[in-house]
Amino acid sequence: MRSIRRHLLSRLLAGLTVVWAGAGLAVLWTVRSGLEGRADAELRSLVFPVRSLIARSFAGRFPPPMPGPLLRSPEIATFDHPNGTLFFEAWDVEGKVVAKSKSLRERDLKVSGAFTMDPRFVDLVLPTGEAARALVFRFNEPPGPGGPGPRWRMMWGARGDDARPPGLHVAIARSRKEMDHALALTLAGIVAGGLVAGIVSALLVRYAVRSGLTPLQDMAARASGIDASTLQARFSAEGLPAELHPIADRLNDLIARLELGFERERRFGSDLAHELRTPIAELKSMAEVAVKWPEGGSEQSYQDVLAIAEQMQATVENLLLLGRLDKGAKELLCERVDLASFVQECVQPFREQASARRLTWEIQLEEEAFVECDPRLLRIVLRNLFSNAAEYAPEGTRVEVVGLRPKSEGAGALDLTIRNAAPDLTPADVPHLFERLWRLDKSRASSRHSGLGLSIALACAKAMSLRLTAELDADRILAFSLRG
C-alpha cells in the first residue's frame, strides 16, 4: 500500500541528495579551477625566466646577464635543484633536446601534440610517475642578446621559406602533487561535509514530514473511530492546517448526510411500527374473537378486517413514498400544466366528503394559467392538502383555493394558496404540521388518517423545488401556500 510518509521521505531525500551532490561537485570544480588557474598563471610567469635560462645556455662565453629579480627568484633555484618540482626542456624542430633544467637530471619530458606560438596547457606524467601540469609553446626569435657563437648559430640555423628561423619547442612543467593533495583534501572535506549534511537533512526531513503529517494522522484516527453510534461527531477546523480545512468540511458534510440517512431509516422504522401497532392489535383482537366464537362471524367483521388491511397498506405505501422522496429517487417529469383544470381534477375526489360535512369549495383561478411542473408530484401535494382541508375544516365552513399568478401566454411561476378555518390549532402547533405522524389529540382518536399526508406533500414540493408553508392568522384561518 502506498504511503504518503514514505513517498515524501524518498522524494525529499533523493532531491536533497542530488542538491548536496551537485553542490559538492560545484565546490570541487571551483576549487580545481582555482588551483589550476593559479598553477597556470605561475607557469605563464615562468616563460621569461625559462627563455633567459635557455639563452644563457647557448650564449657561449658571453651569456646575457640575468636580471636581479630573476637571480633572487626561488623558481630559478628550483629549476637548478636536482630534486626540484619545476622543470623545463627545449627541443629543436627535429625533436633533439637542446636544453633542460637540472631538476630533470637524465630524464626527459614526454609531450604530445603540436607546439604553436600560442602557449597551451597540458597534463602529462613526469618520468618519476608523478602527474604534472605543463605549458608548451614555440618561439622563433632569439631569446635574448648574446655573442654569435657556433652553438647559437647551430641552434637557430638557416631561416625557412618565410624568412623566419625554425625556433625552439619548449615545455615548462610543474608537479601536480601539491595541487592534487589540495584537491584530495577538498574532496575529503566535501565527502565528510556531505555525509554530515545528509544525516542532518535526513533527520530534519523526517521530523518535518512527521510533524507535517501529524494533523492528517490525527484526522485519520478520529475518522476511524466514527461508526453508526457516533455520527454526531464532527471535525473541528481549529488547529488544522489550511490544506486540511476543505477535507474536514467535506467529511463533516458526509457525516451529516450519513447521520441524516441513519436518522431517516430509524424514523422510518419507528413510524412504521407506530402506525402498524394499532391496526395489528385490532386484527389480533378480531382474530381472537373469531377463534373463540367462530359461529359469530359476520359480514361487518370482514369489512372491518378489509378496512384495517387497506389502512395498513396505505400507511406502508405512504412511508415507502416518503423514503423514496427523501432519497431523491423519484425522477421528475416536467410538463406544461393548466392549473385551473388540474385543481378541479384534484378537488373532485373530496367533494362528496365535503358535502357530507357541509363544506363549501371556493376556487378562484384564472383560466388558461399554465405552470411547468411534474403533474404526478403536484397531484400528490394538492390531494393531500385538499384531503386535510376536507377532514379537519369545521363543518359548515368554506375552503378557499386561490391562484395569484398573473395570467401570461407562457408557463410561469406557481403561487397557490389553500385556506380553511382551524379553530383548534394554536400558533405553537403550526411548526409541527409537517412532522410525520403528528396530529392533534382530538383528531387522533376520530380520524383514520396516518398523519403522513402533509409530510408527503412537503417532500413532493421539495422534490419539485417548490416551497410549501403554513400560516395561522389571528382569526385562526390556516393557509397553506405553494410557491415556486
Please tell me whether residue 29 adopts helix, strand or coil conformation: helix
- Give me the sign of the Cα torsion angle 225, 226, 230, 232: positive
Q: What is the predicted pLDDT for the residue at 148?
A: 45
Contact 308, 283 (CB under 8 A): yes
DSSP string covering 143-170:
SS-----HHHHHHH-S--TTS----EEE
Distance between CA atoms of residues 214 and 125, nearest Å: 60
Predicted confidence (pLDDT) per residue in 349-395, tens digit = 899 989 999 999 999 987 777 888 888 889 889 989 999 999 899 99
Sheet bearing 97-100, strands edge to edge:
97-100, 86-91, 168-175, 131-139, 120-125
- The candidate with the shortest Cα–Cα distance to 386, out of 325, 468, 457, 475, is 457
Contact 479, 417 (CB under 8 A): yes
What does the block give as the cell for 426? 394554536
Q: What is the predicted pLDDT for the residue at 154?
A: 45
Distance between CA atoms of residues 302 and 318, nearest Å: 24
- The candidate with the shortest Cα–Cα distance to 419, out of 403, 436, 407, is 403
For the chain, how are helix, strand and coil distributed in percent, rounded to 5? 55, 15, 30
Burial class (CB in 10 A: 0-12, 13-18, 19+), 207: exposed
Which domains does the chain show, CATH number per domain? Answer: 46-175 (3.30.450), 242-326 (1.10.287), 335-483 (3.30.565.10)
Predicted confidence (pLDDT) per residue in 279-307, tens digit = 788 888 888 887 877 776 677 777 878 87
Instruction: Please list the ranges in the chain whose pLDDT falls under 50.
Output: 62, 71, 143-164, 406-410, 442-447
Q: What is the predicted pLDDT for the residue at 255?
A: 87
Distance between CA atoms of residues 336 and 380, nearest Å: 17
Contact 458, 295 (CB under 8 A): no
Q: What is the predicted pLDDT for the residue at 270?
A: 75
